[in-house]
Structure 1
Amino acid sequence: MKKKNQTSQTNKYWLFGLSLLCVLLMLLSVFSGKVTGPFKVAANLTVIPMQKGISRIGEWMGDMSDNFQTLKQVQKENETLQAQVDELLIENNNLQEDKYELERLQELYKLDQNYAEYEKVAAHVIGKDSGNWFSTFTIDKGSKDGIEVDMNVIAGNGLVGIVTQVGPTWATVRSIIDDSSNVSGMVLSTSDKCIIRGDLSLINSGRIRFEQMENNDNVVEIGEQIVTSYISDKYLQGILIGYVSEVSVDSNNLTRSGYITPVVDFKNLQEVLVITKTKDAMTGTPAE
């Protein structure tokens, strides 16, 4: 306790001494221009350096204030520029989306012209089963738009699949790559018929399998077009499925089988066309 009181007394003496020094320096500053002799020398040695120091401190503080204001202004400008950059990025993304959508719609229009003999309804894909591939998916058109079960669905450059379920404003489509899909097809150049079977394990390598093609004198070459057959009970004739990528004679020497590269990108489906007439309605023959 005694030591604490001594420290407090010492601090008071220091404070008093510094205060006295400041007063003396202020007096010297006031009278420095009027005095002569030793007092003049003392003033020059003490007051003037102090004045210069105080002046420099004032200038430094002024510069700091200016720098702070400049920094605030720069930060504000940066925020404004960042907002403009964000707006431009959003605008650029929107333009990119519009560009890609335009390209898809142009492709869809070209497909529509390729099958101009069929009436069609355009639809957007709004849902799909789990997995990377559009084996089964939902579109935003239904019975209110004239959609019925067994209507053929096309996109890209050819056949996607067939409508399996219909609601008032939606429909479910099963694509030709689905494991439960079987499509009657034929080689466009020779009319040799075959069965195209869906297989999700194969589509990972970008192909689907065909089977039961008669082993005859007709030569089926790589790159031949495979289209839907006229004997199909649900699929309309002549819709492009894909191109032969491999063909071989089966062990029974009676049939041939192989693989097709499909013309539809089953990993990226956003818009499709639904042909609004079923095979049954066109032929008058009920589907089996």
Structure 2
Amino acid sequence: MKYSPNNNRLSPKILFIILCVLCLGAVTASALFPNITSPFQTIAGVTVVPMQKGINRIGTEIGKFFDQFESIQELQAENEELQKRVDNLLLENHALSQDQNELERLRSLYQLDKKYSDYDKVAASIISSGSSNWFNTFIIDKGKKDGIKKNMNVIAGSGLVGIVTEVGPNHAQVRSIIDDSSNVAAMFSRTSDFCILVGSQKQIEEGYINVININKDAKVKDGDELVTSPTSSKFLPGITIGYVKDVKVESSNLEKSAKLEPVVDFKHLREVFVIKELKEQPKLN
């Protein structure tokens, strides 16, 4: 018969019974012979009690750690919830701002429609513009099918934007008065003096357009309104263009010039009106 190490091992059941008997014997001896067990109690007090205190302290620290861990998790959850609320508020605020801007644009178009109520108009949205930050030329979503024709006047904001230069079936191209190729015959509404408005993308960057060919004796002044002239070959008369500033006599002493601040924001155009009426050309006999 071969020797096996497992033959000399006590089974768990037997070991458990032995430990129970020893514990019961220790309790009985402690009750019947307190003097005999007192040294063991002293040893236990010296060795076991400090160990128990240490274990209790470790247990307390572990408990604190898990409490702090739970608190951190709760704070993280609260922080995530607050962040969601902040994000939702930001989205709501952005939507309200967009609604407010759209309302202001629509109110402006409504006022413009009332101001030029004598003209038949069609509203159009800008669907494309050039590479510049300014709307010197752009495409609208209305064309021949909507009755749009070349040389029709375009307005927005509080006055003149420009003129239709090309027309397709469902779109049209507009050249604004700030474009380098634009020249508009204009008139001072207060004095009826004539002048020429010269477009310039460089100057509009500084917020103005040049006004030239003002009569030297014209009694014009800063703040005067400039409108389209009845002598213009393409623009309908009386459409507000803007207000002048820095009126001065040129070095030649033959005429005056000024700077015009347009009433249209050429950097933030979204919608426009196209006046469905062409300037009538007088027929010469």
Provide TM-score, normalisation by structure 2.
Answer: 0.80
Give the aligned residue type for 2:46: L
Partner SS for 2:264:
coil
**CA 1:31–1:97: 2 relative to 1, 3 Å:** farther
Q: Map residues 89-238 of structure 1 onto 2, 5 A cutoff.
A: 89-216=90-217, 218-238=218-238
Partner SS for 1:265:
coil
**Contact 2:160/2:240 (CA < 8 Å) preserved in 1?**
yes
Partner SS for 1:41:
helix
| Alpha-carbon displacement from aligned partner over 1:176-227 (angstroms, at most 9, x marks no partner) | 01110011111212322222111122222222122233445x4222222111
Cα distance between partner residues in 1 of 2:193 and 2:51: 108
For the pair shown, the structure with the greater C-alpha radius of gyration is 2
Q: Corresponding residue for 2:54?
A: 53
Deviation at 1:39? 1.4
Q: Corresponding residue for 1:8?
A: none
**Contact 2:112/2:158 (CA < 8 Å) preserved in 1?**
yes
| Runs of 4 or more consecutive aligned structure 1 residues displaced over 6 Å after TM superposition | none
Q: After the TM superposition, which of the residue ranges 245-254 and 231-240 deviates more from structure 2?
A: 245-254
C-alpha RMSD of matched pairs (Å): 2.5
Q: Corresponding residue for 1:43?
A: 44
Deviation at 1:275? 1.2
Give the aligned residue type for 1:76: A
Give the aligned residue type for 1:243: Y
| Alpha-carbon displacement from aligned partner over 1:15-67 (angstroms, at most 9, x marks no partner) | xxxxxxxxxxxx99x95893623211101101122122222222322332233
Cα distance between partner residues in 2 of 1:254 and 1:81: 70
Structure 1: gaps of 5 or more residues: 1-26
Cα distance between partner residues in 2 of 1:79 and 1:164: 55
Cα distance between partner residues in 1 of 2:252 and 2:69: 89
Q: Corresponding residue for 1:3?
A: none
Between the two proteins, what is the percent identity of the paired residues? 52
Cα distance between partner residues in 1 of 2:50 and 2:26: 16
**Contact 2:228/2:236 (CA < 8 Å) preserved in 1?**
yes
Deviation at 1:149? 1.8
Cα distance between partner residues in 2 of 1:157 and 1:55: 82
The total of aligned residue pairs comes to 255
Partner SS for 1:37:
helix
